[in-house]
Every structure is written in structure tokens, then in C-alpha cells.
Amino acid sequence: MIKIAMTKGRIQNQSMTLLKKAGYDILPILSMGRALQVKTADDFEFIFGKANDVVTFLEHGIVDVGFVGKDTLEDNDFKDYYELADLKIGNCCFALAAPPAYRKKEFQARKRIASKYPKVTKKYFETQKEDVEIIKLEGSVELGPVVGLSDAIVDLVETGNTLAANGLEIIARISEVSTRLIVNKSSFKFKEKEILEMVRRLNDVK
């Protein structure tokens, strides 16, 4: 039995396509309604949670495997796992974005940057040798400059539609993001063969 924690939302939706292509049974997942835990015919047990919680479940040994975005991994302190595959889904990038005036503006005080990803933001501005104030938001981060809470944002960008719809543009691309398959180190010791078989099948169809 492999226990898997899956990030709800986009990653779950795109992972279902990948698992199905790899020949895995996803029917119980499609018909699970509001349940959050389900077993499938492949001797997998899935749980579905928020991105950071997927890492927490894996850290505490509740699951063997996690499907989670690189964005979440980069902003999380827990690093003691194996990253065994880039699943090439959930593709987007981290970017610094702001209203067009940001480029020309002379800042008298520290810039204020809103983000759901404070660690990624801190690291980026450290590489730029800039001291900024980071304001944590939980979502709809584009609101930061729109309502005057921040001068700019660090957030995920895929199509750029959300930026455009809120009068923002990319100032700098920071790094690429996609969904990763991560494994608990002790699980890997005991279930190496089963886990590698799963990784191989997913890599074959991605």
C-alpha cells in the first residue's frame, strides 16, 4: 500500500489525467464527493489537502508520497524528503509584478511587497541586495498594488491574465514552478520498489 497526499485544486485535477494515462484506477476518486480519503484498486490510499498540509502529512510520516508544487516546497522549511519526479503539470512561474509606474518610480522608503510566499520573496530580494518590507497575503495577491497595500507582488503567473486584469505587469521572472512527486525518506527505505514503479509509470506518460 502506498499512501499519497494530493494537493487539492489544480494539482489534483491535472494529476488525475496523469494517473489515468499511466493506467491507474481513479474511479473511486472521481466519485468520492466531499470525502477526503479514498482507497483505489491499485492499493493506493489518497488523502486530499491544502498544499502546505501535504508537506506536513509527509513530514509526520502519515503519507509516503506527496504531489505538491515547487512553489510550496520552496517556501516550506521542511526539506528532508526525496524529490523523485517533476510531473510537468501545474506549470507556471514565480514573478515580481507591479503597475507599470513601478519601473520609473524613485522609492523614498523600503518597497512593500505582498506575497503568499514570504520566504521566496525574501530570498529573491536578498539576491538583489534590496531590503524590502514583505506583507503576507493568503490569496488574491494581485490586490496588493490595486488597493495600495503594496508597491509590488511576488506571485505565481501562468497565462498572465490575472496580472493584466488588475493592471499589473511582470517586472522580473524569478523561477519556474511545476508539480513534484516527493517521498518520505523512511517510506522510501521500506517501499522503494513500489514507489519507483509508480514514478516510472508516471514518467512514461507525462
Ligand X SMILES: O=P(O)(O)OC[C@H]1O[C@H](OP(=O)(O)OP(=O)(O)O)[C@H](O)[C@@H]1O
- Binding interface with ligand ATP (CB under 6 A): 7, 9-11, 51, 69, 71-72, 90-92, 139, 156, 158, 177
7 binds, among ligand ATP, ligand X, none (CB under 5 to 8 A by kind): ligand ATP
Q: Phi and psi of 77, rounded to 5°? A: -70, -25
**What does 140 bind: ligand ATP, ligand X, none (CB cut-off 5 to 8 Å by kind)?**
ligand X
Binding residues for ligand X restricted to 101-160, rule: CB under 6 A: 139-142, 155-160
The reply on whether position 162 binds ligand X by CB under 6 A is yes
Question: Which regions of the chain does DSSP assign to beta strands (E)?
Answer: 2-7, 37-39, 44-49, 65-69, 81-86, 92-98, 112-115, 133-136, 152-157, 169-177, 179-184
Helix (H) or strand (E) holding 106: none
CA end-to-end span of the chain: 23
Q: What are phi and psi of 23, to 5 degrees?
A: 90, 15
- Give residue 96's identity as a one-letter amino acid code: L
Decide: residue 145, CB within 10 A, 0-12 exposed, 13-18 middle, 19+ buried: buried
The residue at minimum Cβ distance from ligand X is 139
Between 94 and 124, CB nearer to ligand ATP: 94
Kindly state the smallest distance separating residue 51's Cβ from ligand ATP, in Å: 4
Task: Tell me how far, at minimum, the Cβ of 97 lies from ligand X, in Å.
Answer: 10
CB of 165 to ligand ATP, least distance (A): 13
Residue 99 beta carbon to ligand ATP: minimum distance, rounded to whole angstroms: 20
The residues that touch ligand X, with contacts defined as CB under 6 A, are: 139-142, 155-162
